[in-house]
Chain A
Amino acid sequence: MEIIEKIKTNKSINNQTEIQKICLNKLQSNPLPNPKSEQWRLSNKSKFSNFLDYSVNEKAPIFDTPFPNSSQSNIRLIIGDNCQINLKEKNYSIKQLSEDKLIKYIKEQISCFDQNENWSDLLNLSLNCTKNTLGLKISGSEIPPIEIFSHASSDSLNAKTLVIFLEKNCDIDLLQVNLGKENSSLSQSTFFCLEENTSVNHGVVSYGENKSNLLNSLNVIQQKNSVYNLGSLHFKFNYARFEIRIKQSEGNAKTNIKGMQITKKDEQISTYTKIDFAGPNGFLDQINKSLADEKSHAIFEGSIIVPKIAQKTDASQLSRNLLLSNLAQIDTKPQLEIIADDVKCKHGATISQLNEEELFYMRTRGITLTEASKLQLSSYFQEIIAFIPVSKDRWDLLDKLLNEN
């Protein structure tokens, strides 16, 4: 109940929104996630409690972007920064969802929540007021790349919510960036609804500073003939969880996921994915990479659910991991739950260290051990970085990563 009290003491009860009240009610019965559950059993308890240590900050902190907006054509939005957008161009439109529609949609989502599985969303929605929620309805074609930033300021807990509806035949590149300042916690929940024939290249890049924490939850519903490509990268958090839940509601949809988490010092970063095929002819190609150094801990748990209705599903989930230190820890568990009998599903996991023979080969060409390791790591990152939209042409993210790892 401590968490409930904490939320209540951080805000005036009278000002709570309807959504907040619903979520707080749900949390009353289950104030903390079940530490024995599959989704939470490996979560570091003290780091998790550290997430809730900071007081809630509803004010929009000053946003100091590390990424200059050098491209005139990109649309950049910052959640909570009095964000307003209403664009109607010849080929496309981007409108903000009305509050009524937003509340209606979120309430529908909450009604489907599993108390334990969606605990991060419940926390997010109970903490969040309307001004830290951004709802968008996007339609049309030739839409400029969109960047959406969420950030937590120092010594505070910030909650941001993003809801995006993509109307039929829409095609977008969208990059979400989550930034955690020193000694901060960021709760980010995203809800994506892809209508028929839509195509999304979605990038999620999250990184923090010293002792920053992140609970990042992503919920995607794909209607038929939609294509959802997700490239994600999480690094430099004391504690971070990335929860991905994707439902192909009618089957006949494609999902491609390439994700990566990098941990060092004593950080813990985890990725949980649940891909639910609720119709036939679904497709999934997923690869998750972890790179753990020093005393850190990286976790991947993935589940693919293929019920009887999801015949002809073609799904692949791979977990590839690189352990850079004897003290680092990697836990990985790709899982399949198949009831349908006419499917093609595979999963696998590997854990390895830097390849000694590759290193020696490079060193015999005059490349120092440090440089050779960087080259090898860059090849490890490359596949993921190349899959993240918008960023790759102007963010020197790879260099940043390599210099810091």
Chain B
Amino acid sequence: MQSKMKESDPILEVENLSASTDNLPILKGVSLTVYPGEIHAIMGRNGCGKSTLSKIIAGHPSYKITNGDIKFLGENINSLEPEERAQSGIFLGFQYPIEIPGVSNLEFLRVSTNARRKFLNKEELDTFDFEELVKEKLEIVKMDHAFLSRSVNQGFSGGEKKRNEILQMALLEPKIAILDETDSGLDIDALRIVASGIKKISNKQTGIILITHYQRLLDEIEPNYVHVMSDGQIIKTGESDLALELEKKGYEWTDNFIKET
């Protein structure tokens, strides 16, 4: 299936990954490879393990890898801390972005951006230089400058939180972005702004994994591959028309697929 862009090395390789939390197995042998420039969509019922997969790739300490490997740019990152993964270019856009009362959004964004810049051996930005950069990036998600003076995500609407996630993605310039249900809770206009932001940020050197329930995001951002997850496994992989088929037939269709296989 993944034949189009194999001239370069993969950005992310998830190999037969199994993971658990509190001794409860959640992922049961997931494999997934993302090459530069590729957009992958992961779909599946609630509780099938989509979000868990994203958190494990980002290094959530509550999950334990029981088998398999995660490789980023050819290096095994199983034992890396979440911040090390982020600094090296893995970005997780949260389904429910966390509110951090008392921490200004501007300062949070600046500290994050500088952590990434430091890793890239780029000069860290002072408050003034950062203001310039962030002003430019705000345009991408059509956010007002006033959001920067508020506490991180506090009092933000659902749409504003998601746009703030995309703003962070724009600032951090990751090699791979995993966007966990970025489309949930968005109205049509907000969805278009977010989708357009993602398209502007992504390029031929980056990879994107979109975790979603709905075709509407995939109408805006066409994926190269669509994976269907069920019970901690990827049970089917196809191209973008798989999502359309899924939309038509529902997840019961994938249940039949499991029975057949």
Contact B97 A360 (CB under 8 A): no
B174 to chain A, nearest CB (A): 10
Contact B102 A366 (CB under 8 A): no
A-B pair count, CB < 8 Å, reads 73
How many chain A residues touch B (CB < 8 A): the figure is 22
Question: Which residue in chain A gives the minimum CB-CB distance to B107?
Answer: A375
B36 to chain A, nearest CB (A): 21
Partner pick for B83 among A367, A379, A380, A382, CB 8 A cutoff:
A367
**Which residues of chain A have a CB within 8 Å of any CB of chain B?**
356-358, 360-369, 371-372, 375-376, 378-380, 382-383
B101 to chain A, nearest CB (A): 6
Known contacts A371-B111, A375-B111, A379-B151: A363-B101 contact under CB 8 Å: no
Q: How large is the interface on B (under 10, 10 to 19, 20 to 34, 35 or more residues)?
A: 20 to 34
Residues of B with C-beta under 8 A to A369 = 81, 83
Contact A376 B103 (CB under 8 A): yes
Contact B86 A364 (CB under 8 A): yes
Contact B108 A362 (CB under 8 A): yes
Contact B100 A358 (CB under 8 A): yes
Closest 10 CB pairs of A and B: A379-B102, A366-B115, A365-B112, A363-B82, A361-B98, A366-B86, A366-B87, A363-B83, A382-B102, A379-B103
Known contacts A366-B116, A367-B115: A376-B83 contact under CB 8 Å: no
Residues of B with C-beta under 8 A to A376 = 100, 103
Any chain A CB within 8 A of the CB of B142? no
Residues of B with C-beta under 8 A to A382 = 102
Q: List 14 A-B contacts (CB under 8 A).
A: A356-B62, A357-B98, A361-B100, A362-B112, A363-B59, A363-B82, A363-B86, A364-B59, A364-B85, A364-B92, A365-B168, A366-B172, A375-B108, A376-B103
**Residues 57-75 of B contacting A (Cβ, < 8 Å):** 58-62
Contact A366 B98 (CB under 8 A): no
Bound-state Cα–Cα, A378 to B87, Å = 23
Known contacts A366-B83, A375-B108: A361-B94 contact under CB 8 Å: yes
Bound-state Cα–Cα, A375 to B98, Å = 14
A110 to chain B, nearest CB (A): 43
Partner pick for B111 among A356, A360, A367, A379, CB 8 A cutoff:
A367
B98 to chain A, nearest CB (A): 4
A339 to chain B, nearest CB (A): 36
Contact B100 A363 (CB under 8 A): no
Bound-state Cα–Cα, A275 to B141, Å = 50
Known contacts A363-B81, A365-B115: A379-B86 contact under CB 8 Å: no
Contact B103 A366 (CB under 8 A): no
Residues of B with C-beta under 8 A to A379 = 100-103, 151
Partner pick for A365 among B60, B62, B86, B101, CB 8 A cutoff:
B86
Bound-state Cα–Cα, A378 to B104, Å = 11
Contact B103 A360 (CB under 8 A): no
Bound-state Cα–Cα, A380 to B119, Å = 29
Question: Which residue in chain A gives the minimum CB-CB distance to B97?
Answer: A361
Known contacts A365-B115, A366-B83: A375-B60 contact under CB 8 Å: no
Residues of A with C-beta under 8 A to B85 = 364
Contact B172 A375 (CB under 8 A): no
B26 to chain A, nearest CB (A): 16
Residues of A with C-beta under 8 A to B115 = 365-368
Bound-state Cα–Cα, A28 to B116, Å = 67
B194 to chain A, nearest CB (A): 18
Bound-state Cα–Cα, A360 to B94, Å = 11
A357 to chain B, nearest CB (A): 6
Bound-state Cα–Cα, A371 to B107, Å = 12
Partner pick for B172 among A361, A365, A371, CB 8 A cutoff:
A365
Residues of A with C-beta under 8 A to B62 = 356
Contact A366 B101 (CB under 8 A): no
Known: A364-B94, A366-B172, A367-B83. 11 other contacts (CB 8 A): A358-B98, A361-B98, A363-B86, A365-B111, A365-B168, A365-B172, A366-B83, A367-B112, A368-B83, A375-B100, A376-B103
Bound-state Cα–Cα, A382 to B62, Å = 29
Question: Which residue in chain B gives the minimum CB-CB distance to A366?
Answer: B115
B129 to chain A, nearest CB (A): 18
Bound-state Cα–Cα, A328 to B214, Å = 48
Residues of A with C-beta under 8 A to B81 = 363, 368-369
Query: CB-defined interface of B120-151 with A at 8 Å, one 1/0 digit per residue?
Result: 00000000000000000000000000000001
Residues of A with C-beta under 8 A to B108 = 362, 365, 375
Bound-state Cα–Cα, A363 to B103, Å = 14
Residues of A with C-beta under 8 A to B58 = 364
Question: Which residue in chain A gives the minimum CB-CB distance to B168?
Answer: A365
**Residues 36-74 of B contacting A (Cβ, < 8 Å):** 58-62
Bound-state Cα–Cα, A364 to B115, Å = 11
Partner pick for A360 among B60, B102, B151, B168, CB 8 A cutoff:
B60
Contact A360 B61 (CB under 8 A): yes
Bound-state Cα–Cα, A239 to B152, Å = 36
A195 to chain B, nearest CB (A): 36
Bound-state Cα–Cα, A360 to B85, Å = 12
Bound-state Cα–Cα, A72 to B102, Å = 31
Bound-state Cα–Cα, A357 to B55, Å = 11
Residues of A with C-beta under 8 A to B107 = 375
Contact B100 A366 (CB under 8 A): no
Counting chain B CB atoms within 10 Å of each CB, the highest count among A366, A368, A371, A378 belongs to: A366
A117 to chain B, nearest CB (A): 35
B79 to chain A, nearest CB (A): 15
Residues of A with C-beta under 8 A to B61 = 356, 360
Bound-state Cα–Cα, A368 to B59, Å = 13
Residues of A with C-beta under 8 A to B60 = 360
Residues of A with C-beta under 8 A to B98 = 357-358, 360-361
B118 to chain A, nearest CB (A): 8
Residues of A with C-beta under 8 A to B103 = 375-376, 378-379
Query: CB-defined interface of B148-168 with A at 8 Å, one 1/0 digit per residue?
Result: 000100000000000000001
